[in-house]
Structure 1
Amino acid sequence: MFVVHLICSFTTGGAETMLVDIANQQVAEGNRVALIIINDLIDERLLQSLDKKIQVVRIGRNPGSRNPFFLIYLNSILFGLHADILHCHDHVIGGMLLPLFKKKLCLTVHTVGVDGKYFSCFNKIIAISDSVKQDIINRTSFHPELIWNGIHTDRIKRKECFTASSPFRLVMVSRLDHLVKGQHILLEALELLVYEYNRYVSLDFIGEGESENYLRSLVEKYRLQGNVNFLGLKDRNYIYAHLHEYDLFVQPSIYEGFGLTVVEAMIARIPVLVSGDGPTEVVERGKYGYCFEKENAKDCAKKMDCIIKDYSNLGNLTDMASAYAENQYSIQATVYSYLRLYESMMGGKAK
């Protein structure tokens, strides 16, 4: 089967990370795969993580450009490729393509709140979580398929010892975008944990983004200079090798369609504390991790303190969480589900 993935920009984020894993696994299972990047926003380091067999086409459009040349070029490329499936990862791409491509066109929706304006351009709509699926159903007339995100679970190193570090080590892996990811909530909670609960803790932010200067100012405001580290962007190999060294993973999301980094932490056998619809769904609303009320720093601090108190007894919980995540969110299961979807679009088994 020949699958062409299309995405507007290829910078570091959850959708792009998932796309790399899916495309590489599709190649590993004998499929022909290409990637078309429409805008000229590309993280070259991320691009290097693609299998060398994947054909990459750069359209080179400036974001927001209305120059018709790029649309003509994009459609002419698709005419020449003769792909079986065109798999889009941004909804606006539906409005860029000629209607004759609709039969082989599908869209993965990666987060909540996506405008349904272009949904009718696609043959199939896919949601990455039940939270995203319900959001689409509630706001539009479309009923998407559900295909969970998946990762290479075997590449993540597992935590073995449940003796808390000193200081107690917290980590958040995410784009630094506080209005979506909620880093400011975590910093407010950390102030309470340090100065009201008298806990000796450290927090590492792994990631980069436009909120970094604002978050650094909050670190100073809350007198947390000795507790918070900004490690910048780290590649997947680094994260998979070091996650297990932390005592607690925190994801204080305000809006989050899924929570791939939460799954990675669960597999690494470290406890997780989350908020937001997607991450809460990932931990089965408290069955495989801890939840706090969205945008509630006091509740976040209280839950962190409880986790620290009970830390030596969390081995069974993290064992269950790791086994569940490995079974539910493997990249092999995700790719298999997409293959079945592609075949249904083609009217039967692919040759």
Structure 2
Amino acid sequence: MKIMVLVPSLQEKGPIIVAENIAKYSNDPNFEYIFVSLRNNSQQDIQRFKNNHIKTYDIGMGKIPFKRDILKIKNIIEQEKPDIIHVHSFWPTIIISKNFSSYRSITTLHNNPMEDFTYQYGEIIGRLMTYFMNKALMKIDKKIAISEYIKNVYCKTGFENIDVIYNGIEDNLKNAEQNIDTEINIVSISVLNKCKNIFKALDIIKLLKDKKIKVKYRIIGDGILKNKIEKYIVNNDIQDIVQLVGKVEREKVFEYIQKSDVLLFTSLSEGFGLVVVESMMMKKPAIVSDIPVMHEIVDNYENGIIAKSDNDYVKAIQFLYKHNNYEIMSNNARKKYESKFRVEKMSIEYEEKYHEMIGR
């Protein structure tokens, strides 16, 4: 069975990681995956797919698709003859629904479009993108949400028969010493944009410093707010305990999680929260914002902590300092990952949906 996967690019970002892992962790020799990237990619990203024996194509599309881009996709489809086309994200969904709706299609719903598109592009463009996304989804045969929260978002707009498959995370557990008795090492892995709400995290770090709680805080990631965040750090006199690391390779991300004690996650909107589960996989509790999807991932004060206010975040850190709390929560975080979020489980569940679609 041939599955053509249409993605915006091959960069190691949330939706792409999910799509890649479905193929990478397939144990069924009857499946063949072909990835078609709308945009050109670095040799490093292309090689990553080659290492996993996954065939790839680059379309070379710009910001929006033109007729030549559609013709390239058409030629690939005619050459490869896929049984199913699996789309991820905005433009792949739009392109397939408008031009190739006669083919069996499935989409993974990664986000709350109204929230995410508005945060990223502003209210007017965000509303337009949400409208066109929902219209395009009407022509997609099968819809998979990455959480119950995302399923409910789309059900409220009139869509039915949406299945839920949680994102799976590769097991990359490594041993690390914790220094939580003397100093707590906190990390955030985040794009530096409005939605990720890093200024909130910095306010929390300032409160911890004011309370004489010994912390070190690293921010992994880059984005349009970098310069403002740098100034904010200096203006709040926390440059001695905050390190703005910048963007790093995915393998390095796990190294920074390993060196940390706790993940701080202050996002305003998420469809899932991949990095939270990555942290749990590595036995690192996460202190997270009170957004709907976090209640599916974090069992409050059991494997992580959900915080509603700045004071809640501070109380969470203080709680972890207490005897045995950290060890218990770390072990529970790992157990939750093993029971619900293993990558092999995700791959099997998607391939079961592919089988259902073609009646095998």
- Both proteins in one fold, TM over 0.5: yes
Q: Does 1:118 align with 2:136?
A: yes
2:234 is matched with 220
Deviation of residue 174 (structure 1)?
2.0
1:176 is matched with 192
The one of 271, 291, 304 equivalent to 2:317 is 304
Inter-partner Cα distance in structure 2 for 1:158 and 1:104: 44
- The aligned runs of 1:1-351 (5 Å cut-off) are 1-26=1-26, 29-30=28-29, 31-40=31-40, 42=41, 44-52=43-51, 53-65=53-65, 67-97=66-96, 101-113=101-113, 115=130, 116-153=134-171, 155-159=172-176, 161-164=177-180, 166-177=182-193, 179-195=194-210, 197-275=211-289, 276-293=291-308, 296-307=309-320, 309-310=321-322, 312-348=324-360
The Cα offsets for residues 176-201 of structure 1, whole Å up to 9 and x where unpaired, read as 22x21111110011111112x11121
Q: Is the 8 A contact 1:147 1:338 kept in 2?
A: yes
Q: Is the 8 A contact 1:162 1:314 kept in 2?
A: no
Inter-partner Cα distance in structure 2 for 1:94 and 1:267: 31
- Please give the TM-score of this superposition, normalised by the length of structure 2: 0.87
Deviation of residue 245 (structure 1)?
2.3
Inter-partner Cα distance in structure 1 for 2:327 and 2:138: 47
Q: Is the 8 A contact 1:163 1:312 kept in 2?
A: no
CA 1:228–1:45 in structure 2 vs 1: closer, same or farther (change >3 Å)? Answer: farther
2:122 is matched with none
Percent of paired sites with the same residue: 21
- Please give the TM-score of this superposition, normalised by the length of structure 1: 0.89
Runs (4+) of structure 1 exceeding 4 A deviation are: 98-103
Q: Is the 8 A contact 1:3 1:33 kept in 2?
A: yes
Stretch deviating more after TM superposition (136-145 or 330-339)? 136-145
Stretch deviating more after TM superposition (284-293 or 208-217)? 284-293
Deviation of residue 292 (structure 1)?
0.4
Q: Where does structure 2 lack aligned partners over 5 or more consecutive residues?
A: 115-129
Deviation of residue 233 (structure 1)?
2.1
The Cα offsets for residues 213-249 of structure 1, whole Å up to 9 and x where unpaired, read as 1211211121111111122222232233442321111
2:119 is matched with none
Q: Is the 8 A contact 2:187 2:256 kept in 1?
A: no
Stretch deviating more after TM superposition (68-77 or 254-263)? 68-77
Q: Where does structure 1 lack aligned partners over 5 or more consecutive residues?
A: none
Q: How many residues align?
A: 338
2:38 alignment partner, SS class? strand
1:244 partner amino acid: Q
Deviation of residue 12 (structure 1)?
3.7
Task: Give the alignment's Cα RMSD to 1 decimal.
Answer: 2.1
Q: Is the 8 A contact 2:280 2:337 kept in 1?
A: yes
1:126 alignment partner, SS class? strand
